[in-house]
Amino acid sequence: MSTVYRATDTRLDRRVALKVIDPALAGDDEFRARFLDEARNTSAVDHPHVVPLYDVDRAPGPGGEERLYIAMRFVDGRDLASLIGGRPLAPERALRLLDQVADALDAVHAHGLVHLDVKPANVLVEGRAGSEHAYLADFGLTHRGATGHRTGAGDFLGSPTYAAPEHLRGEPVDARTDLYSLGCVLFTCLTGRAPYRGTVTEVIDAHLAGQVPAATAVLATAAAGAPPLGREVDELVRRALAADPAARPGSARELVAAARAALARRPGPPRHPREGNPGADRATGSSPRGAVRPDHPREGNPGADRATGSPPRGGGNGAGPRPGTGPVVGNPRPPTGPVPRRQPPGPPPRRVQAPAAPADLGAFGRDGGPRRPVVVLAVAGAVVVVLLVVLVLALT
């Protein structure tokens, strides 16, 4: 219907985006009326996330024909489709951008308008990641009221990839029609691809069939190793893309807020085994990396660290004494409980050399008592004396 140029406003000396109606449609009363409606609808929504309109007028074309144009703010950035580029955005970044789009879309709906062309290519983004500003653009199909969103010949106007079933069927539309499209954009941001792909006919048939693919499964195929989105995100996407408009969220803000809550509760990233020993956590039953172990210095045994295979205290990565509760990777027989605190050993016993018996002890031992041979001789002497006495008495 039109072509957008980067141009310069010579009166104010500023860059603008200049949207000019297609020459082939310049003489078509229906499309001229739609073009002017776009200008009115855009200017009706004064919102920080809607591209501001500067001017609308007509000018002679190269062949002298009258050409309608709209002058708007020039957004020095990229559209969301190119930012995605077939790869999923980080969920936090996607939510920051869609928060702004949702604000703009609710403002459009508050004016009784339906955008009817919400898609990544119509979201313009300027600034750097973390401080990006998003604009909802291209109000060429925006319509006031439930009907009249097709051409006079009954042709569909819009992007089938992101269009709601009622829009595709030519049925009455309202704000919920845009919420369906916003749900498709959310799906695309999180997975890197639109919900339905194929030929135009195949895409339209898929929208009408209402078999919404699970975003988690699509992401697992598109980006192996990415954290799963979770069942809540899948359920939210199915709700946003429901065939029945009454089953969809109540507003664009509600949809994005629900996505934020669901993503906050999604499963964590897959757990990676410890470097250098992939089976360490399973083999030893130790806590995952990042757990800590109380420090028990091995006093009195300087070689204990080397004996158990653990790094010496204060070593390893240079982070000081190693805390921890689990066993050390590489120790085939890890402790099953807290490591007991070893008491420092007392002073070693003094070795005393037993002295030899001195030669001057004579008939006495080291303790001053008589030795055994001396006792025997004394008894024998007494016996001899008794015998002599008996003999003398006998002779007399």
Q: Which of these is catalytic: 9, 57, 79, 117?
A: 117
pLDDT score recorded for residue 351: 52
Left if phi > 0, otherwise alpha if psi is -120 to 50, otherwise beta: which for 148?
Answer: left
pLDDT score recorded for residue 209: 94
Q: Check if the beta carbon of residue 284 is closer than 8 Å to that of residue 250.
A: no
pLDDT score recorded for residue 150: 57
The Cα–Cα gap between 260 and 254 comes to 10
- Give per-residue burial for 291-314: e unless 16+ CB within 10 Å, then b: eebeeeebeeeeeebeeeebeeee
CATH architecture type of domain 2-73: 2-Layer Sandwich (3.30)
Q: Does the annotation count 117 as an active-site position?
A: yes
- In DSSP terms, which residues pair with 291 in a beta bridge? 289
What are the start and end residues of each CATH 1.10.510.10 domain in the chain?
77-264
Q: Is the pTM of this model over 0.75?
A: no
pLDDT score recorded for residue 277: 42
Give how far Cα 103 sits from Cα of 109, 182, 188, Å. Answer: 10, 12, 19
pLDDT score recorded for residue 288: 42
Q: State the DSSP string of 196-244.
A: --SSHHHHHHHHHHT-PPPHHHHHHHHSTTPPP--HHHHHHHHHHT-SS
The Cα–Cα gap between 236 and 221 comes to 20
What are the start and end residues of each CATH 3.30.200.20 domain in the chain?
2-73
The Cα–Cα gap between 261 and 259 comes to 5
Helix (H, G, I), strand (E, B) or coil at 363: coil
- Angle of CA points 175, 177, 180, to nearest 5°: 120
Tens of each residue's pLDDT in the chain, 396 residues:
789 999 999 999 999 999 998 888 878 888 888 889 999 999 999 999 999 999 999 888 777 778 899 999 999 999 999 999 999 999 999 999 999 999 999 999 999 999 999 999 999 999 987 799 999 999 988 888 655 555 556 677 889 999 999 999 999 999 999 999 999 999 999 999 999 999 999 999 999 998 999 999 998 887 777 778 989 999 999 999 999 999 999 999 999 999 999 999 887 655 443 444 444 344 334 444 444 344 444 444 444 344 444 444 444 444 444 444 444 333 344 444 444 455 555 565 555 454 444 444 444 455 555 555 555 566 677 777 777 777 777 776
Q: Enter the tokens of residue 259.
A: 């996505």
Topology, domain 77-264: Transferase(Phosphotransferase); domain 1 (1.10.510)
Q: Enter the tokens of residue 68.
A: 């309608």
